[in-house]
Amino acid sequence: MSAQTKLAADQPLPELSDRIKVRALEVGGAEGPLAARLYTSGDTGKRDAGKRDTLLVFFHPGGFVGGDLDGADIFLRHMADDNPHVAVLSSSYTLATVRAFPAAVEDAHAVMNWAKKNKAKTAWTGKRLLVCGIEAGANLAAVCALMSRDRGGPALAGQILIMPMLDPGLTTCSMREMQQAPELLEVADACAAAYAGYLPNCADRTHPYASPLQSSRLKNLAPALILSAEDDPLRDEAEQYGAKLIANGVKTSVIRMPPALQSEAGERNECACKCIALGEIATFIAGLDRADAAPLSQE
């Protein structure tokens, strides 16, 4: 079912607990090692060396041409603190300033495969694998779901797309309308510049691994949580993608977060923290837990 909802004002962030652990590590990309961080919080209460049943792999924002592991650090600390039964793996990827498409998506899928094969390094039992990202990182997360289906794995339990970049054509109403707002013009211009760097070959702009919104094959994908924001130029492409997933039988929740002016680079990280994203993510993960725990119906 879809739950497209406008929710009320920003909620203050709670204090982080003193049980957050952040560990630097290297993961395997498509062409070599990549820097990463593992976030955990609390105690699983298990005897299995503190391993979690759920691993969430996260890709940072930055318009494919920038960003790093530091940008979403506070957001991921809160995510781990809110979900102590989840290990959060934040991975870097090849930026378009080094190599253009498809380097980043090949890295992202390689990291998912690395995580599946290196459970001992990620405090994970191997039971449930999720992918998540903000903005360009959410594009990579959506593409990981497509690639995992197309390439026979790794199997995903869910995908979480936060204010995703999904339309290189920049054709949605929210993108066109907000280009007229002076305070948001910078964001629209930044999106255009980002895609110019990431997709210098115009033919790539219709490839489903570059533009999931244009994919004609959206069946049999992992359940999705898609978070848009009221005043974000990326709003409509996020919501259109959610509608397409639902039409293709993918269990999807689409949540529109309240306004939190997206006028400068990096503010999507802040919006994800200060709006309702953390609560919606916790609810989504809890729903996956309940679905796994539910007994099979008897015919």
Average pLDDT rounded to a whole number, residues 132-136: 96
Pairing of strands 20-28, 33-41: antiparallel
Per cent of the chain over pLDDT 70 is 83
3-state helix, strand, coil in the chain (%, to 5): 40, 20, 40
Residue 186: CB atoms within 10 Å: 13
Confidence of residue 45 (pLDDT cuts 50, 70, 90): low
Among candidate residues 227, 235, 265, the one with its CA nearest the CA of residue 68: 265
pLDDT at residue 292, rounded to an integer: 74
* pLDDT, tens digit (0-9, with 9 covering 90-100), for 213-244: 999 999 999 999 999 988 888 999 999 999 99
Phi first, then psi, for residue 101 (nearest 5°) are -50, 135
pLDDT at residue 187, rounded to an integer: 76
CA distance 75 to 101: 27
CA distance 199 to 45: 46
Q: Which CATH class is domain 20-289?
A: alpha beta
Half-sphere CA count of 219, side-chain side, radius 13 A: 1
In the chain, what are the domain boundaries? 20-289
Instruction: Judge whether residue 39 has pLDDT over 60.
Output: yes
* pLDDT, tens digit (0-9, with 9 covering 90-100), for 56-97: 999 999 999 999 999 999 999 999 999 999 999 999 999 999
**Cβ 93 vs Cβ 133: under 8 Å:** no
pLDDT at residue 174, rounded to an integer: 82
Exposure string of 20-37, with b = 16+ CB inside 10 Å and e = fewer, is bebeeeebbbbeeebebb
